[in-house]
Every structure is written in structure tokens, then in C-alpha cells.
Amino acid sequence: MGGVSLMPPIKKNVRSDSKKGTLVSDPFSYLEKDHKKIGSLLNKLTAKALKKEKRGELFLELQDELTLHAEMEEKIMYPILERLSRTHTIVQEAFEEHHVVKHLLNELTLMPFDTEEWMAKLTVLKENIEHHVEEEESDMFKKARTALSASEKEALAVDMENFLMEWVGV
Ligand SMILES: [Fe+2]
Ligand SMILES: [Fe+2]
């Protein structure tokens, strides 16, 4: 974790993902929805119109989302995909990309929000995340979707759901 402290869990991170009321129906679609949410927070944060005093609040929201997302991938999904030959190397790279993102996030929490330097670092964070998300969606998830059997995907969905429940302390 490189000294990055985990934010306390917040309930608003958890949402229903299917009509049946389960949180995770398809593991990859769930994470892709998360990516959209993270992307939209990053767009809001880097928008020129955003007032500097709003940065802190939005940044904390981003940090919460990223922490939960990365933990769920690292603890639940990546270990399974790392064992498959088709996704082994991509997963190892993804762990390293997470490491860089966490480092940047940590640095951002230690700097004043209202400076040009903060915004420059945030822009680099955004670029790193966009690159990582692109690799997950167009390479890792794509390969994993065909490499895993239906029952393996189902088991993964259950594990992700349990992880979420534990995260929010249900
Ligand atoms: Fe990731
Ligand atoms: Fe992801």
C-alpha cells in the first residue's frame, strides 16, 4: 500500500446492479460502471469552471471511489485472473499501475488543493487512470470474459458482492 491510508467505508458507494436486487450481477459490467463514475468525477475535478473551494470535497469522493474499486480488484478479481495464462501479465502490470495511482493520490492528499501544482498532479493522475481503465476494459476484462466459465464468473460476482457487504459493514 506504500503508506496510503484507507478511507473509511461509506454506504453511498454501494448500489444495486441488477433487477434482482443483488449488488453485482456481472463482475466486469460492475467494474465498468465504476470506471464511468470515476471518469465523471475526474472530469468534474479538472473542469475549468470548478471553483477551487469545491476541489477538496470532490477529491475525497474520488478517493473513496478509487480505494474501494482498487481494493475489490486487488483482493477479489486480480488474484483469479493472475492465475490464468491469458491475463497473467496484464494483471501484474495492473497491480503496478494501481501502485502508481495510489502514490499520486497520497501525494495529492498532502498538498494544498488550491494550487497549480495540485492541478498538474491531478491531471497526471487522471491520465494514469484513463490509461489503466482502457487496458482493463479493452484487454484484461475482454480476455477474462471468455477465459472464465459461466460458473467461475458467477462465483466471482458472489465474492465481489460479499466484499462490498463487508466493506460497508453489513
Ligand atoms: Fe484497476
Ligand atoms: Fe478498474
Q: What are the tens digits of pLDDT across the range 106-128?
A: 999 999 999 999 999 999 999 99
User: Any idea which ligand is nearest the CA of 101?
Assistant: 1
Residue percentage of the chain with pLDDT more than 70: 86
Residue 133 Cα to ligand 1 midpoint, Å, equals: 7
CA 94 to centroid of ligand 1, rounded, Å: 6
Count of C-beta atoms within a 10 Å radius of residue 47:
10
Query: Which whole number is the average pLDDT over 58-62?
Result: 96
Pick the closest to residue 125 from 9, 7, 61, 43 (CA basis): 43
The alpha carbon of 69 and the centre of ligand 2 are apart by a number of angstroms equal to 6
Q: Nearest bound ligand to CA 132? A: 1
Q: Sorting pLDDT into bands at 50, 70 and 90, what band is 170?
A: low
| Predicted confidence band of residue 45 (pLDDT cuts 50, 70, 90) | very high
Question: Residues with beta carbon < 5 A to ion ligand 2?
Answer: 31, 136
Percent of the chain surpassing pLDDT 90: 79
* Distance between Cα 117 and ligand 2 center (Å): 26
Q: How far is the CA of 73 from the centre of ligand 1 (A)?
A: 6
According to the model, what pLDDT value does residue 15 have? Answer: 52
Query: Whose CA is closest to 168, among 10, 16, 31, 34?
Result: 10
20 CA to centre of ligand 2 in angstroms? 24
Residue with cell 466484499: 163
Cα 113 off chain centre by: 22
The domains found in the chain, sorted by start residue, are 23-168 (1.20.120.520)
Task: Yes or no: say if 1 and 71 are a contact pair by the CB < 8 Å rule.
Answer: no
147 pLDDT band (50/70/90 cuts)? very high
pLDDT per position as a tens digit, 4-33: 445 554 444 455 544 445 778 899 999 999
C-alpha 126/C-alpha 43 separation (Å) is 9
List all residues 6 or more positions away from 164 whose beta carbon is below 8 Å from its beta carbon: 13, 14, 23, 24, 72
For residue 88, which of 76, 96, 97, 80 has the smallest C-alpha distance? 80
Q: How far apart are CA 48 and CA 63, in angstroms?
A: 20
